[in-house]
Amino acid sequence: MLPDTHNKFSYRVPAAGRHGVFPMLQPLDETRRRPRPAAPSGGTRVPPHNLEAEESLLGAMLLSRDAIAAALEYCSASDFYRPSHARIFEAISVLSARGEPADAVTVAEHLRRAGALEDAGGPALLVSLQANTPAVSSAARYARIVEEHALLRRLIGVSQEIAEIGYSLPDDVTAAVDQAETLVFEVAQRRTTDSIAALQELLSKSLDRLEELAGRTESVTGVATGYNDLDELLAGLQPSNLVVVGARPSMGKTAFALGMAAHAALKGEPVLFFSLEMSHLEIAQRVLSAEARVDAARMRNGRLHDSDFTKISHAIGRLGNAPLFIDDNPNITVMDIRAKARRMKSRSGLGLVVVDYLQLMSGRHNAENRQVEISEISRGLKILARELEVPVVALSQLSRSLESRTDKRPMLSDLRECLSGETRIARADTNEEMTIAELAAGGEKDIPVWSLDDRCRLVRSTMSEAWSTGVRPVLEVELASGRRLEATANHPLLTPYGWAPVADLATGTRLAVARRPPAPFPEAPRRAPQLVRAGSGPMSGRGWSDAAEVTGALPRPVSRAAAADTARLTSPDIFFDRVVAIRAVGHAEVFDAHVPGLHSFLANGVVSHNSGAIEQDSDVVMFIYRDEVYNPDSTDRGSAEVIVAKHRNGPTGNVHLAFVGTYARFANMARV
């Protein structure tokens, strides 16, 4: 914890000078009763550096291979204050990596061939560095001195960036604070901006990892969940993975996640559990009830048996030192989670993050709709997992649409927004259209399509692929121009005020439709746009609408968010057609598609959103299903299915667990 220094300083106003009556207040250290040192009279201060340490380190590297190894452990070329020193360090590093000797002669030759010898100070400097090195054996200490001064310079640079962020008066202050904290965190972690790694380096690291795993007797290589069959399937929860656990209410997803979190903590893995639904005390009671195997109802009402106290006492003894930390802020955001997880990792380490649950989280305040907001939240959690190199488990509540099926087991398509197979997709290379079912059947990848950018202009984008997601109930949306589009209830379409799911549309709602196709790229044949008049009937498959006779008067933006989107109403590429009917048309095979980046494409000429990011961002998707919730007389009472529907780096499958409702605990099934 940082010391409280708020009261250590008092402030005084110096005499008026050339800056006016109220110059900047100067902090006065009460312990010394004198002002802090000011900048030199010359104006700007010199950034921290130690040229003697840089020269001594380079001299040691020119004299000893061991010194090179010590230097590379702590430093990079960017850590050197003097550019000539950075060039010499880089030359030594390159020669060492090739297995060649790195002395004054070979380094001079390397720099000469690169045309950088004179910039590096010439051969005389290299000889001087060797001659003036105090002690080769102190190379590691020299390297740490160079590194420490480089960190201080980075900190100064970051502080200037943070000041600029503050002075810019950003609209989203929370995002600005998160950005500032990220900058400081990266300095603390000695992060660099270069995220490129050579395959050769990665293969070497992979081999080291394989050798490490081969020496282990257990099959679990990540964080163990405590559910044996699930651990065998996943090899544990892997670092940098986003794991989504989806279920309908009453299936026990919180109990499932708490079981994983408690097991990991009892094994010594620090766990950070974010509960947006229940308080600290409720979570603690559930963990204690499950670990002690005491009826949860008796723990709530206090009517405990004598034997219960013994069980509770033993459970408290086991849980007392478990590093499980619970945050019950109901208004938490991804930025808050990232900040708290970073601090915990830097303070005491971090093995697992759990979020209960996605749909309760707050996102960007000016997001177009809740679907986009949830997509951004899931993306933020994936970035968190990558950044901290820990597994992040996010619980997700599934929509009730699956309950319309006879088989109510969740499927991967329940996390997606889908279109019927007859939906026609406009290509950006030829402006021809193909049905999404044809694209999926043909297995075509990287299809050029038209997307809507942030200026509401149609631009060329890429649909990575399209695929079938099964049979689901669909709704048909009919527009005044005669266009029809069949989609699932949660599929978002663009209105004048942002994205809205089909289920939220009504007669009279306006939807964005392409006015006419932009000119295709060179080499593609040009086609004259076919105009469709109002009331002319269904689309024939190809064709584009002219806005003149179907738009009518559009409502004016009535909020700040809507006003910011006025470009939609004036875009030359789209107009807003009126919904004349929405009707259920039964079940149909539906298809999903992925458009990275802009997440939109033209479906029957209608601007359609591809926002199924919960599934796209996740590495593992699993669902919990308990048949007794729907069928009280089920033969599977007391059991649960964990359906691993997606596993980016391994197999999928089903795992069966026992569910003990009296203390809300999932347990391993007895093996026969």
| Angstrom distance (rounded) from CA 512 to CA 603 | 11
Note whether 245 and 253 are within 8 A (CB). Answer: yes
For 542-554, what is the mean pLDDT? 42
pLDDT digits (tens, 9 = 90+) for 34-43: 344 444 444 5
Give the Cβ contact number of residue 184 at 10 Å.
16
pLDDT digits (tens, 9 = 90+) for 635-667: 888 888 899 988 888 888 899 998 888 878 888
| Angstrom distance (rounded) from CA 441 to CA 444 | 8
pLDDT digits (tens, 9 = 90+) for 87-136: 898 888 888 766 678 888 988 988 888 888 888 888 888 888 888 888 88
**Residue 530 confidence (pLDDT) above 80:** no
pTM of the model: 0.55
pLDDT digits (tens, 9 = 90+) for 398-410: 766 667 667 788 8
The pair phi, psi for residue 197, each rounded to 5°, is -130, 140
Note whether 589 and 420 are within 8 A (CB). Answer: yes
> How long, in residues, is the chain?
672
| Angstrom distance (rounded) from CA 104 to CA 124 | 9
Residue 67 Cα distances to 10, 111, 139, 146, 440, angstroms: 48, 20, 5, 14, 58
Whether the upstream peptide bond of residue 167 has omega within 30° of 0, thus cis, is no
For 266-279, what is the mean pLDDT? 87
C-alpha dihedral, 645 to 649 to 650 to 651, nearest 10°:
20
Q: Which two tokens stand for residue 227?
A: 């559910």
pLDDT at 560: 36
**Residue 10 confidence (pLDDT) above 60:** no
pLDDT at 521: 39
Residue 82 Cα distances to 55, 86, 119, 194, 311, angstroms: 10, 7, 11, 21, 66
Burial of 98 (0-12, 13-18, 19+ CB in 10 A): exposed
Strand partners of residue 413: none
Give the Cβ contact number of residue 417 at 10 Å.
23
pLDDT digits (tens, 9 = 90+) for 169-225: 888 887 788 778 877 777 766 544 444 456 566 567 667 766 666 666 666 788 888
Largest pairwise CA distance in the chain: 91
DSSP alpha helices (H): ranges in 2-75? 51-63, 65-74
Three-class secondary structure of residue 36 per DSSP: coil
* Average pLDDT across the chain, whole number: 76
Residue with tokens 């709602």: 509
Which secondary-structure segment (H or E) carries 451?
strand 447-452
pLDDT at 289: 83
Our measurement of the distance from residue 276's CA atom to the centroid of its chain's CA atoms, rounded to an integer in Å, reads: 19
pLDDT at 537: 32
Q: Is the CA virtual torsion 75, 78, 83, 86 positive or negative? A: positive
Closest CA to 473 of 556, 564, 380, 402: 402
| Angstrom distance (rounded) from CA 441 to CA 425 | 14
| Angstrom distance (rounded) from CA 404 to CA 425 | 28
The pair phi, psi for residue 374, each rounded to 5°, is -65, -40
More confident position, 372 or 379 = 379
Note whether 633 and 613 are within 8 A (CB). Answer: no
Walk me through the domains of the chain, giving residue ranges and CATH numbers.
1-36 (no CATH), 46-190 (1.10.860.10), 222-400+644-668 (3.40.50.300), 418-554+563-611 (2.170.16.10)
Three-class secondary structure of residue 124 per DSSP: helix
**Residue 536 confidence (pLDDT) above 70:** no
pLDDT at 373: 65
**Residue 16 confidence (pLDDT) above 70:** no
Q: Is the CA virtual torsion 49, 54, 56, 57 positive or negative? A: positive
| Angstrom distance (rounded) from CA 638 to CA 446 | 46
**Residue 4 confidence (pLDDT) above 50:** no
Residue with tokens 């979190």: 261
For 76-88, what is the mean pLDDT? 88
For 583-610, what is the mean pLDDT? 84
**Residue 580 confidence (pLDDT) above 90:** yes
pLDDT at 456: 80
